Structures are given as structure tokens and as C-alpha cells.
Structure 1
Amino acid sequence: MEKINISEKFSLFSETWTPKIIAESNGQLVKIAKGEGELVWHSHENEDELFIVFKGKLTLMLRDRSVTLLPGELFVVPKGVEHCPVAEENTHFMMIEPASTAHTGTVVSEQTVGLNKQSRI
């Protein structure tokens, strides 16, 4: 395994809400994505989802509150908790989650990326 330059990886794509796998460790995938606007309300029945922001502002709307993350901040959405990510323009973030985690849980929308369509960069 070679070292990974995260900033360089972000420069390789422009699409939003389309996670890119950059590493794997012990069954956990390390993914990066860019966000803008709102994704969809969804949950992950069996998996926690960790978000770390590198650039911009990501708000994780939960049914009982919202958590806003700025660069250098992280939050774990516990399994089973419904959430809706909302990002300001040009937000860059990382997710660390089990390989079994479906992009938008059981919710399927035009933004959903299937497990077999998530690309590695």
C-alpha cells in the first residue's frame, strides 16, 4: 500500500454525492465525496456512518436536531438513525463505514449509487 494524498484524490472528480473509495481497512471502507445541496433522508439499519469534513460545511439533519460540521470536525451517525446530509457548495468530506453500507440505505433515488457501482480512485 502506498500513502494516499487526500487533496489529490478530491481533485480527480467533480460529481456530488457520489462516494469514491480510497482505502479499505478491516472491512471498513474509507470514502471521499463532494456535496452540494441536499441528499435524501435515509438510515443504515446495521452500520454506523462516520463523517469528517475537509472543506466547506456539511449539516447532518437528524429527526430531532441538526449537526453542522466544519473542516476538521467529525460526527458519527449511529446505525438506525435517519439522517439527511446537506452541504454548502463545494463541500469535501470523508466517510468511514463498513463495506456493507448501502449509499442511501433502503431508500432509492436518482442520487443513489449502488454498492457495485462505487468506484475506487
Structure 2
Amino acid sequence: MRMQLIDPLSLSAANSSPYLNTAISELNDHVVRMGVMTAPYPWHYHPNSDETFIGSEGVVIIETQNQIFELSPGMVLTIPKGVPHCTRPKGERSVNLTIERSDMETVFT
């Protein structure tokens, strides 16, 4: 594996689409993704992987059937596999990192 310094905030600044979810690094059988949101992402769940969110810029709202979480920069939340959830930015834009299995499946509800 080649070592590479990655700056997610610089990558996110170059994004102009309403939603971007891109892999920025791999770790064993997991992947680190950067998500940039200016619009909501629909309800879904992952049957084969937990999903850990790390707030990076702005506030990302993560909603489950029972709770609503607001992740500010530096905050971390793990959604267990099989738990339906949706995400959206609070305000105009949010940036977060996620860590999940490389072969993670997504099922929309």
C-alpha cells in the first residue's frame, strides 16, 4: 500500500454537485469515504456493515426511526448494520467522513 496524505476539506472545496460520496482511502477490508451534501440523502440501511460518521465541516443530520443526531466537526457516530437512516446537511452544506466495509451493500427503503 502506498502512503498518501489526503486533505478532505480541499477535495470537498472543489466539489459543485449536490451530493458527493467518494472513497479517499482504504483500510484492510474497510474504506474511508468523504461525503459532501447540499441536499438530503434518502432513507436506507446497510445489511452487512456498520457505518461510522465523522463530522468534518458544517453539521450533518443523521436520522434514525427513533432519534435525530447532529454531527458537528470532530463528532463521531456509528450506525449499526441493519438500522434504517437518512442524512442531510443542517444549513447549506455539510462534509463528513464515513468508515465502512469495502463491500457494504445499500438498501433503499
TM-score range, shorter chain: 0.7 to 0.9
- Partner letter of residue 106 of structure 1? V
Give distance in 1, aligned partners of 2:8 and 2:70: 22
Give distance in 2, aligned partners of 1:23 and 1:71: 19
Query: How many residue pairs get matched?
Result: 106
Give distance in 2, aligned partners of 1:81 and 1:8: 31
Which blocks of at least 5 consecutive residues in structure 2 are unaligned?
A: none
The answer for the alignment partner of 1:94 in structure 2 is 97
Report 1:1-121 matches (<5 A).
1-88=3-90, 89-102=92-105, 105-107=106-108
Residues 16, 33 of structure 1: 8 Å contact kept: no
Q: Give percent identity, aligned residues only.
A: 26
> Counterpart of 1:9 in 2: which secondary structure?
helix
> Counterpart of 2:11 in 1: which secondary structure?
helix
- Partner letter of residue 26 of structure 1? N
- Partner letter of residue 19 of structure 1? N
Give distance in 1, aligned partners of 2:100 and 2:19: 15
Could you state the TM-score of these two structures normalised by the residue count of structure 2?
A: 0.88
Give distance in 1, aligned partners of 2:40 and 2:8: 23
Which blocks of at least 5 consecutive residues in structure 1 are unaligned?
A: 109-121
Which stretch of the first structure deviates more once superposed, 60-69 or 6-15?
Answer: 6-15
Q: Find runs of 4+ consecutive structure 1 residues off by over 6 angstroms.
A: none
